[in-house]
Each structure stands twice: as structure tokens, then as C-alpha cells.
Amino acid sequence: MTNSDLNRYKDKAFQVFGICCTFLGLIVLAVFLIDILIKGLGRIDWDFITSLPSRRAMRAGILTAWVGTLWILVLTALIAIPLGVAAGVYLQEYARKSRLSDFLEINIANLAGVPSIIYGLLGLEVFVRQMGLGESLLAGAFTLSLLVLPIIIVTTREAIKAVPGSIRDASLALGASKWQTIWMQILPASAGGIMTGVILSLSRAVGEAAPLIVIGALAYVPFVPESPLDEFTVLPIQIFNWVSRPQEEFLINAASAIIILLFITFLLNGIAVYLRYRQQKKVKW
């Protein structure tokens, strides 16, 4: 075998390996979804969705868990979106290149790398204890807001960066003030990109269990939360609780709850992908 034959052989071998690795992800995803569907689909019915938790697997439902997840989703959005978009706008439109802006940038990158469980410890000490919110929905939403804030800030900046300077210049030339330019031109033009980032960050928040366990969210909540100061549980915590039990029936409950959770996260991601696609198609600067 000549050298060039050998090289061609290596090239082909790596191509096969590459195809295997690339499709490995798809296969794992498929195996996984099929496994979950087989285990869990049979258990999902109206009772499962509308029943309170129970010590007996066949009577247990996820009503408190999905209502808690919905509360957390809405509260986190209300807290994190204004804060994150405002910070993103400041960094992209107002901050001059200075020590302060460099520091803010590095700091945000660092926050994005802090493990979620550390945010749980922060929430436990600051929101649950110091601010006296207790183990409430509000404490959970504040904690998750801090967790997703870096994602919202970074995507807001990216979206604003993509707006061409000519729009800004035209608005300023017509006599609009800086804020009028941002509010009436830049934000509407970048809304699609910002929304994509916001939805992705909310889908992250919906799937988080660790920080909420640390702030003391309970697995067993026998009532549906009615105000932001009520105790709560969420779907990922309910799943964790069921997975940690030895009985087979609870694993089936966990699989069913996972189907509901995946439905919510895939729905959110689908909306985000759709918004991004529409934005890319519509906007031709």
C-alpha cells in the first residue's frame, strides 16, 4: 500500500467515524424519547393532570407541579425581562468603552458560568432569609431571574448589535432624542432577536430543579398555589422526587411527568426557533 493509499484510507475511515458520532446524538435522542413515551404515555390522562400529589402512585397527579411551573414561568419573566433588556440596552447603547464597561462585561460572562446550585445558595440566604420571603414562589422566581439574567443581557446586546447604524443615524438626524431612537426604532427592530433569547432563557428556567430544591421548594405540596407568597413545587422537582423512590410505579409517574415537561420546553424552543426563522426571513437590511 502506498502512502497516498494509506492517507485516502484514513480519510474515509474518519468520514465513517464522523457520520457515526454525528448520528449518535440523533440516535440517543430517539432512543430516549421512545423509551420515555413507552413508559409514560399510558399513564397520562385527565386525572393525572388534575390530581393532587399522593403517597399512592396510581392516585398521584401533577396538578400542583404544573401550576407551580406556570407561576414560576410568569413571575420569572416579569422580573428578568425588564431587568435584562434594560441592562443589555445600557451596555450596548450607552456605555462607552471604559474600565467600567469592560468590568461589567467580564462580570456578566462570569455570572453565566456560575453553577445553578450556587444561585440556590444565594437565593436561600438573600430572598428566603434576609428578605423574609420564605420558601415562596416569589423567592424561587427571584432566584431563577438572577440565573437567566446573563443570557437575556447577552442576547439583547447581540440583537441590538444587528440593527444597522443607518437606522440610528436617520432617527437622530430627524431630531429624535437618544431614548426616543432606542424606544421607537432600535427596540422594535431588534424585538425578534430579543424575544428569541428571552424564550430560550425561560425554557432554561422551567427545567431547573437544583436551585429551587436548595431554596426549600417542597416535593409534597398538597394544595395549588394561589399567590406569589405561597409554597410551591415545580415539575422537575416532582420528577426528581418520583425518580428517587424505589417503587416501579413512581418511575412510570416520573416518565409521564417528563413527557409533560418536555412538551413545555420543546414548545418554548419551537417558538424561539420560529421567531428566529421569521426574523431572518423578513429582515433584509
Partner 1 sequence: MRVKEKIIEGLLLLSAIITVFITVAIIWVLLSESVSFFREISIVRFLTEKEWTPLFAEKKFGILPLVSGTFLTTFIAIAVALPVGLTVAIYLNIYSPGKLKLIIKPVLELLATIPTVVYGFFALTVVTPFLQSFIPGLAGFNALSAGIVMGIMIVPMISSLSEDAIGSVPLSLRDAAFGMGSTRFQTAFKVMVPAASSGIVVSVILAVSRAVGETMIVAIAAGQQPRLTLNPLVPIETITTYIVQVSLGDVPHGSIEYKTIFAAGITLFIFTFALNNISFWVRKKYQEKYD
Cell reading at 267: 414548545
Contact present, 152 and 84 (Cβ < 8 Å): yes
Task: Tell the smallest beta-carbon distance from residue 77 to partner 1 (Å).
Answer: 16
State how far the Cα of 281 lies from the Cα of 137, in Å rounded to an integer: 39
* Cell 418511575 sits on residue: 251
Task: Tell the smallest beta-carbon distance from residue 255 to partner 1 (Å).
Answer: 7
Task: Tell the smallest beta-carbon distance from residue 264 to partner 1 (Å).
Answer: 10
Nearer to partner 1, 11 or 285 (CB): 11
Cell reading at 21: 458520532
Nearer to partner 1, 148 or 189 (CB): 148
Task: Tell the smallest beta-carbon distance from residue 195 to partner 1 (Å).
Answer: 16
Task: Tell the smallest beta-carbon distance from residue 171 to partner 1 (Å).
Answer: 14
Task: Tell the smallest beta-carbon distance from residue 283 to partner 1 (Å).
Answer: 19
Nearer to partner 1, 226 or 277 (CB): 277
Task: Tell the smallest beta-carbon distance from residue 211 to partner 1 (Å).
Answer: 9
Task: Tell the smallest beta-carbon distance from residue 130 to partner 1 (Å).
Answer: 9
Nearer to partner 1, 228 or 256 (CB): 256
Nearer to partner 1, 226 or 244 (CB): 244
State how far the Cα of 237 lies from the Cα of 66, in Å rounded to an integer: 11
Nearer to partner 1, 24 or 229 (CB): 24
Nearer to partner 1, 137 or 239 (CB): 239
For the chain, the DSSP string reads --HHHHHHHHHHHHHHHHHHHHHHHHHHHHHHHHHHHHHHGGG-SHHHHHPPP-SSGGG---HHHHHHHHHHHHHHHHHHHHHHHHHHHIIIII--SSHHHHHHHHHHHHHHTS-HHHHHHHHIIIIIIIS---SBHHHHHHHHHHHHHHHHHHHHHHHHHTS-HHHHHHHHHTT--HHHHIIIIIHHHHHHHHHHHHHHHHHHHHH--HHHHHTT--S---S---STTSB---HHHHHHHHHTSSSHHHHHHHHHHHHHHHHHHHHHHHHHHHHHHHHHHH---
Nearer to partner 1, 107 or 247 (CB): 107
